Structure 1
Amino acid sequence: MLILKPFLQPDLGLMMFKPGKTLLTELVKMSQGNRLVVMPLPEELINAPSGKVNCPVVPDSSCRSLVDDERLLDFFLNDEVQKRLGSFSRWLDRVPHCQLSDGEYCDKNLTTLEYEVGAARLCWHHDNEERDYQVRKGVSIAKRNVMLWGLDGVKNQLRIDRPVSIPELCWWSVVNSVSEHLPQAVLDEAFGVKHIEKANTLNVRRESDVRYSLDTASVLPERIKAIPLVIDDEPPAMFMARPKELTWHSEKYLKFVRSLPCVVTGKTDGVVAHHLILHGEGKMGAKAHDLFTFPLTTDEHRKFHDDPAGWERKNDSQLYYVKQTIKKALDLGAIT
């Protein structure tokens, strides 16, 4: 897929592109004498530079984009959420075109215009027009940019290459300790809660009703259970000449590790808790402490055991991922 800026000639009925020699060669290979598909740039690629992009030509219709979900606008405008996402202005500065371009005149220089909610990337010509009289389209684009920036940040941090889903957004909010700012309606959707319709104006409830309704806003923090780690500053074995080494086991901690996304692929399905080997651990057929684990998919786990040294050369040391997993457990309160 190539991203190219079109040069429109309405009077002549022509649309021209200037790909350059390298991209023109790519274009020839893609076409192979056939017709080409010309389509609007997907919103998820709004700040992608011109050139070759390795993504499907036609987006996957099975993945519902949350860009139009206005319930999330206040969430992404929250100060605490924005701290976790990074700079909105820096993201917007990478948009390489005027977002109010109408196919007619646009100045070659770009600037950023802030609106009451969000901001837009405009050329100097449209920026002057907007400062005099803001149009509805500009206001809508500014809000949409906030949504695109927020979802793009979540997607990058979760290391996925498709639109973010509601459950994935909830997981990201838990990891970053901002789940309390999620809208109630979004949490209800994530938990599959269906609200009971009011039978009449008196709001009479039957005894068989399921305790009225589920408060998903309070359920989410309760689902993040703490895993107790008992500390003994003077263990009896410390006073023995040759104490027997014990291995720390905790199925609760392993369950927590398996709930995390794979450190390599970012996937959450089929995740196992990989125990550290090498680095002085995993000797004589014995597993390391359950604390020395990190999440891997079953496929990635198999690749590791096929060639542990090669896996570490490609993906970094196991010690780094063990440390990151323990840090996440402490940050989330999984270990207290």
Structure 2
Amino acid sequence: MRALLTPEIARGMGIVLLRPGADLMPIFTSGRVLVELPPANMAHLPSGAVLAARQPLAEDTALSGFFSNEHVIRVAGGMPSLERWLMKQEGGCQYSVSDWHHEELTTFRHEPGAIRVCWHCDNVLRGQHTQRLAEIATSNVVAWVIAMARGSLGFDDSHTLTLPELCWWALREEVTHALPDSITRRALRLPAEPIQSATRESDIVPSAPVTEILRAKTGRAGAAAKCRSNEEVLAEQPPQLLALKVDPESPESFMLRPKRRRWENEKYTRWVKAQPCACCGKPADDPHHIIGYGMSGMGIKAHDLFVIPLCRAHHDELHADTVAFEKKYGTQPELLLKTLDRTLAIGVLG
């Protein structure tokens, strides 16, 4: 408990008198108390008990998606934890529109969280979904996530949670993927990405997500990585994208003429698309599926594992004249082996 009090000074006697009132007297009954000058943001507050610290992050609209993300809600404790937290907060029914309220309180769930209401309003509102209720539920979720993050980091209600602290909590709980790029850039003090009025697809150069830069900066890449660029760190320690399952006794392996199934993995082809072109080393535009060699035909497409990164120019050149292309740059299987070798060597496939 904290209090903001106006002192009465008896300078001749060297005595300072305080009038806390009956509600604040417990502050002075447990021994020593801490006395300090109030900060500037408390100048407008009246004398009396100081409420919990204001949380500017709760008012940041850029973070609304993060607070309502299902993964963030789960790591914060889930809906049961939110409902218990709501019942412990001061105040009555949060649906102030009603003319009469029952003295008993309960909670009911409304996207994206829950609302504390009295029994009367619970019967009236149960099953309804309105914009007003969504605003109340969102406000509750935001305040609850901030409270859970603050408590997890060892702070009390008087602490104002900062953006770097929230990002650190998100990193600990492995939910940095829910943070918007604009927020992580602000936390890392990175400049905003320039917006070009017109960009050709061939000029787009894939960059590492800001959340990966955040992981690299917080020490996962080791102390030595701090002296190198984020691109070097991410190139040496790429994220694990795919784990191949080996089943030597699949049902199809016992069939005389098994029906073939095409292996698909959009996550892997998306990664291949972001790699350098296998011919020129420039940023690739497409993950090219091997054609010919018994892997393609009418209505047949090679497995997503058999892809190589190609820029648009070399992709068009390959389809225009496959023989001339392979004579100039090497056969498709050769380029595929080089791609798979690098993929396995850096841990993308495991």
Q: TM-score, normalised to structure 2's length?
A: 0.43
Task: Report which structure shows greater RCO (CA 8 Å, sep ≥6).
Answer: 1
Greater Rg over alpha carbons, structure: 2
